[in-house]
Amino acid sequence: MRLSECRAVLTGASGGIGLQLAEQLCAAGARVLAVSRHEGALAALRQCYPQTLGWQMADLRTAAGRQVVLDAARAMGGANLLINAAGVNRFALLEQIGETQLDDLLALNIGATLQLTRAMLPMLRANPHALVVNVGSIYGSIGYPGYTAYCASKFALRGFSEALRRELADTPVDVLYVAPRATRTSMNGAAVLALNAALKVSMDEPKDVARAVLQAIEKSRSELYLGWPEKLFVRLNGMLPRIVDRALRKQLPLIRRYSHTQEHPK
């Protein structure tokens, strides 16, 4: 898919990977409708690309918010690329997560993504070729202590992407599932950064993740897993999960220690 020919709806566009995707898409000549609850750093970026970058404030957890996005996409002339990058992370043991926090995480990470994709499919199918990109996580393939709720949502997103790809196999719409590893974004608080440092976990820069995603779009890939040895762990977890069980059990004391260093609202 040629980036210069893309008319993209991009959710989660105000920070981290989403903001980098918006900037790099515009630099490649694409038209972008950036969707987020807050404009944030998009304001400065819109000044650089006033003709090709638009912004729509929307809460994708609501039907009204998703309808606003659909209307804005139609006003743009339709879309042939949907990038579902909106999401939230919670580093906490399951019993530390408040009920409202858990509901909000699932509503945004999986509910909003499924609902917006469903609503946009007729628009996407109207093109000779279109693409849905779902930004998941390595934790969509490896269940990791301290991220139970996040893993649940990303496992669901991976399954959704696989099923949707097969469901749309005889249509002009393809599906790309992207699984970044740990990335330096504002979603990762001090406790996460400290844990990653203690475990010597490598973290990617958002601009590098965005670049890899756009390359995967251009190459018409169906899956993209980022990072080494994370890609190896995904395969190992699928074939020999008990080995991963034993490795992660050794990390439990550190995970529990750092999970107790932050507040967990109920």
Six token digits for residue 221: 């890939």
Could you read off the pLDDT of 205-237 as tens digits, one per residue? 999 999 999 999 999 999 999 988 888 889 998
Measure CA 255 to chain center.
23
Task: Work out the pLDDT band at 196, boundaries 50, 70, 90.
Answer: confident
Could you read off the pLDDT of 102-112 as tens digits, one per residue? 999 999 999 99
Burial 70-80 (b: 16+ CB within 10 A, else e): bebbeebeebb
One-letter amino acid at 165 equals R
Q: What's the chain's average pLDDT? A: 94
The answer, yes or no, to whether residue 18 has pLDDT greater than 70, is yes
d(CA 5, CA 31): 8
Mind listing the domains of the chain with CATH numbers? Answer: 3-259 (3.40.50.720)
DSSP code at position 3: G
Residue 144 confidence (pLDDT): 96
Asked whether the beta carbons of 155 and 147 are under 8 A apart, the reply is no
Note the pTM of the prediction, 2 decimals.
Answer: 0.94
Q: Which residues contact 17 (CB under 8 A, 6 or more apart)?
A: 85, 135, 180, 183, 185, 206, 209, 210, 213
The answer, yes or no, to whether residue 50 has pLDDT greater than 90, is yes
| Cα–Cα distance list, 68 to 10, 19, 116, 147, 164 (Å) | 14, 20, 11, 32, 24
Of the listed ranges 2-16, 179-193, 233-247, the one predicted with least confidence = 179-193
d(CA 39, CA 61): 17
Angle between helices 16-27 and 206-218 (to 10 degrees): 50
Active site positions, annotated: 150
Residue identified by tokens 């750092």 is 258
Provide mean pLDDT across the span 81-104: 95
| Cα–Cα distance list, 25 to 146, 210, 246 (Å) | 34, 9, 42
Asked whether the beta carbons of 152 and 137 are under 8 A apart, the reply is no
At residue 167, what are phi and psi to the nearest 5 degrees?
A: -70, -30
